[in-house]
Chains A and B, each alone.
Chain A
Amino acid sequence: MAVTTDQVVLNEWVACGWHGQVPMGQSYDTVIFGQEICVSRKGAEEYEVAVIEENGATGRTLPVQVRYTCIFTTLGNPTRPLPVIAEFDEDDRRIIGCGSVGVRTSPYRIIENFLDMAHFSFVHTNVLGAPDQTEVLAYKTEHRKDVDEIWALDCKFYQPAASTASAGGQMTDYVYRVMSPFSVMLYKNVFGDPARNDAICLFVQPMAETECLAYMPMALVDEISTPEGIIDFQQGIFLQDRIILENQRPTLLPLDPTIELPTRADASSIAFRRWLKAMNLQFGIYEKQAA
């Protein structure tokens, strides 16, 4: 597996593990962008990440941050910091990670699926969508230039069981936020408390162009559900997505809008792809763009 030469993606922070994946004093090998790395747990919340050279020797040490239940690193010189997600610092939040899940597709397909509401009624039937209420109402997208993020606002969808805390159906308000090509999150209103939002993240570890690990940390307002129940719910949703994701062709993401014709409901995907195209990134992209 060759390491990508795409400097744009090499300069991003990406997840490379979840906190607690190995006990203190132990390490594991994994891959980002085709580069083998070794993640060692040195202390309770202290990790060290190092490149593994082709001859197996330990190479240079990489920057590392432990945030949002995940371990992040970078092979380059990040132009953007890790996103600030304030909900993870609120005292009454339930902070829950779900480990990682392997997915054989381009990282951006995973991000796009997370942004998509049109599939709720068909893939998450009777949970995140009802078979008789499939309409994606018009919503707004914007590129926030100050933080260089893509946002989708005023999203609404009828959900029979929006979360483990739900006691019935509700019109759920969503806000989506793409923080980097490999990280996305959503805010959805809490069942029974319209003033507060659950924060649910999806961080993608791109191992290779069509080989990823997905991490789903959450900061929830939920005093009732057990952690086991919350994890079971979230993983159940993601495994419904996973089978769809692994069957999408091409696995690489096309940026030419004539290859996969978008509809109005795909406004967030249109904004996302336009943003990726402007970055001129090539890793995981269907068309090899001019450098």
Chain B
Amino acid sequence: MAIKLHDYGLSGSCYKVRLLLDFLELDYEVEKIDFYPGRQHKSLDFLEINPLGQIPVLDDDGTRLRDAQAILCHIANKYDASGRWLPHDPARFGQVMMWLMFAGGELMAASAARLHDVMGYRLDIEAARRNAHAAFRILDDHLTEREIEGGQWIVGEEPTVADIACFPYTALAGDGGIGHEDYPALRNWMRAFRRLPRFQPMSGIAEFT
């Protein structure tokens, strides 16, 4: 059995996968991709690995997967015997899926703002920041409700893959010129997340917010 992650250190999406692999104490091999400036993810060789030209990609014992959210579910489903990271009970499964889709969808506006500010991507930065703020408002409202219920995580009483999927681009928002000032529940949740055992930071994640 060998797990290989096609990885780029500055990618928040790759970071999602690294976080879960570390939480589960799984050994894995890393194949670094020169995302920027090399655009290796758009090279012919890489398009054979993922025709969408996106990272991360996971190779796991003959199974090749793209999409960070799909990879999180695969790893949790296969390796987390406790079932804690991907709960299957009817009360939680659907909600975890819903927030996973949110992480891969609406929340990616924060990633776009970061690509613009850090790597000079030409895109509508005002729209990206506006959409990221709208997504943070929704997640902050949800986490405020959870706090009122006495909960700390996005779904249920324990962290799940939904928390892992939502964490990177929320925490990296500052890289794209988006502050956390208006989101107190997000800040509480990020603090709790950073305290999880075996949590590893990545470049750009503020330790002081």
Contacts and interface: CB of A to CB of B under 8 A. Distances in A.
Interface in A218-257: 226-229, 231-233, 235-240, 242-243, 246
Interface string B101-119: 0000000000000000111
A114 to B, nearest CB: 16
Contacts of A236: 9-10, 202-203
B206 interface: yes
A158 B180 CA distance: 35
Contacts of B119: 99, 101-102
B10 A235 contact: yes
A232 B204 contact: no
A9 B161 CA distance: 51
A97 B38 CA distance: 10
B84 interface: no
Contacts of B118: 101-102, 239, 242
Contacts of B83: none
B169 to A, nearest CB: 14
Interface centre among B32, B33, B117, B204 (most CB of A within 10 A): B32
Contacts of B34: 227-228, 231-232
B37 A99 contact: yes
B117 A240 contact: no
Instruction: Report the interface size class on chain A.
Output: 20 to 34
A21 B36 CA distance: 11
A18 interface: yes
A248 to B, nearest CB: 13
A243 B206 contact: yes
A221 to B, nearest CB: 20
A144 to B, nearest CB: 33
A213 interface: yes
Interface in B174-209: 174-175, 177, 202-204, 206
B40 interface: yes
B8 interface: yes
A235 B10 CA distance: 8
B120 interface: yes
Nearest to B174: A243
Contacts of B33: 228
A239 B10 contact: yes
B32 A102 contact: no
Contacts of A97: 37
Interface of A: 18, 20-21, 97-102, 104, 213, 226-229, 231-233, 235-240, 242-243, 246
6 contacts: A229-B32, A231-B32, A231-B37, A232-B32, A236-B9, A238-B203
Q: Which 5 A-B pairs have the closest CB atoms?
A: A99-B37, A239-B203, A228-B32, A228-B34, A232-B9
